[in-house]
Amino acid sequence: MKVYADNAATTKISQTALDAMMPCFKEFYGNPSSLHSVGQDAFHAVRDARVQIANILNCSPDEIYFTSGGSESDNWAIKSTAELMAKKGKKHIISTKFEHHAVLHTLKYLERRGFEVTLLDVYENGIIRLDDLKNAIREDTALVTVMFANNEIGSVQPIREIGAICRERGVLFHTDAVQAVGHLPIDVEKDNIDMLSMSGHKFHGPKGVGALYCKKSIRLPNLIEGGAQERNRRAGTENVPAIVGMAAALKEANDNLEVNMKKLSEIRDHVIEGLLKIPYSRVNGDREQRLPGNVSMCFEGVEGESLLLYLDIVGIQASSGSACTSGSLDPSHVLLAIGLPHEVAHGSLRLSFCEENTIEEADYIIEQVPPIIERLRNMSPLWERLQKERGNA
């Protein structure tokens, strides 16, 4: 059996998205800036995509800027706001300890340029406490940036409440919603969001395309100088097929949102229940406030990379936050942020599902994981030591 369970890394493009993209390559291949009919067809395709996405997020089409993806959107939103607010003497930014590197590294960049950054604790369940946020906001706070849902452990933040606090205190609020868009209901108006980053390939759209929602009242500085694309803010001929594909994928995801959420939660909970039967295993992240398709677990005494490569051999594609998969010394900063000791964090496994996954596939995972864990534990001096310490050996 083949089970692709790494949808948080990327998804397979949907047939709907692909079908929407094909005419952009072969029929509407003109430059949207050209005035002739072939160009105008492309112009309309991009305009329609923008309207479609704006409708889903509940904003104006003028508030959607197409980008190359989540990282670009995060960089643009955070650096721009920092630049804008620094002029008003505000050089303090609040975020969390377990943001995506696109956010954390951007904050590091700003720190080197004189900004002060407060990273909120995310506690054991991977969710910030609103009181911590309230206490962290200062007179000179320029921006609060908190991810909607965590890419590794799937915990979902109280975005609406965070946004409300920011509104009340007059602080701009950005959210990296790369893992949430197309997977959770989002309404930028009701959720009090000023800026939001999204990425097409996380919901069965194409790779290399994303968008930044930025509230009209914020004067977003230009990212790329040149032509008049993206209302003069990001020059360069639009990636028409990708933009159209992303919009089609998002529409499909949004149309099926409730059904998908229900189905994925069932698969998720089934897998978690099944794998928790493995001794000395644990679930990472909140069990309730959680992405419908995210399973994140740790198994003591085993190392994540070995686990995921053995899983690949039996046809299951997953991911891990172990040091060895990150190519660095430390295991994932996300797992360390929720308080896991290094040696436990090294044994992490993330399975992320999409609506194409089935309960049969979940059963296959539940059947395949335990013998692999057992095999790795049998050759693990760490496991041997843990067993001795517990008096089990």
Q: Please identify which residue in 305, 317, 363, 366 interacts with another protein, judged by CB under 8 A.
A: 305
**198 strand-pairing partners:** 211
Q: In this complex, which beta carbon is closest to another protein, that of residue 198 or of residue 316?
A: 316
CA–CA distance, 248 with 24 (Å, rounded to integer): 13
Distance in Å, CB of 374 to another protein, minimum: 13
Distance in Å, CB of 113 to another protein, minimum: 28
Task: Determine if 309 is a binding residue for another protein (CB under 8 A).
Answer: yes
Q: Please identify which residue in 240, 346, 355, 357 interacts with another protein, judged by CB under 8 A.
A: 346
Task: Determine if 382 is a binding residue for another protein (CB under 8 A).
Answer: yes
Q: Please identify which residue in 41, 303, 355, 361 interacts with another protein, judged by CB under 8 A.
A: 303
Q: In this complex, which beta carbon is closest to another protein, that of residue 241 or of residue 301?
A: 301
Q: In this complex, which beta carbon is closest to another protein, that of residue 70 or of residue 304?
A: 304
List, in order, residues 6 or more apart from 243 with CB less than 8 Å away. Answer: 45, 46, 49, 50, 66, 209
Distance in Å, CB of 197 to another protein, minimum: 27
Task: Determine if 390 is a binding residue for another protein (CB under 8 A).
Answer: no
CA–CA distance, 264 with 220 (Å, rounded to integer): 37
Task: Determine if 301 is a binding residue for another protein (CB under 8 A).
Answer: yes
> Nearest CA to 183 among 98, 257, 251, 248?
257
CA–CA distance, 104 with 97 (Å, rounded to integer): 8
Residue 214 annotated in active site? no
CA–CA distance, 36 with 372 (Å, rounded to integer): 61
Q: In this complex, which beta carbon is closest to another protein, that of residue 12 or of residue 342?
A: 342
Stretch that binds another protein, among 121-129, 187-195, 237-245, 298-306 (CB under 8 A): 298-306
Place of tokens 């490569």: 309
Amino acid at 290: R
Tokens of 377: 């534990």
SS3 letters for 246-309? HHHHHHHHHHCHHHHHHHHHHHHHHHHHHHCCCCCEEECCCCCCECCCEEEEEECCCCHHHHHH
Q: Please identify which residue in 67, 322, 352, 357 interacts with another protein, judged by CB under 8 A.
A: 322
Task: Determine if 67 is a binding residue for another protein (CB under 8 A).
Answer: no
Task: Determine if 145 is a binding residue for another protein (CB under 8 A).
Answer: no
How many residues belong to the site for another protein (CB under 8 A)?
27
Q: Residues 59, 214, 324, 354: which is the catalytic one?
A: 324
Task: Determine if 380 is a binding residue for another protein (CB under 8 A).
Answer: yes
SS3 letters for 40-98? HHHHHHHHHHHHHHHHHHCCCHHHEEEECCHHHHHHHHHHHHHHHHHCCCCCEEEEECC
**295 strand-pairing partners:** 351
Q: Please identify which residue in 11, 95, 106, 306 interacts with another protein, judged by CB under 8 A.
A: 306
* Residues of the shown chain interacting with another protein in the complex, contacts defined by CB under 8 A: 301-306, 309-310, 313, 322-325, 327-329, 331, 342-343, 346, 376, 379-384
* Active-site residue set: 324
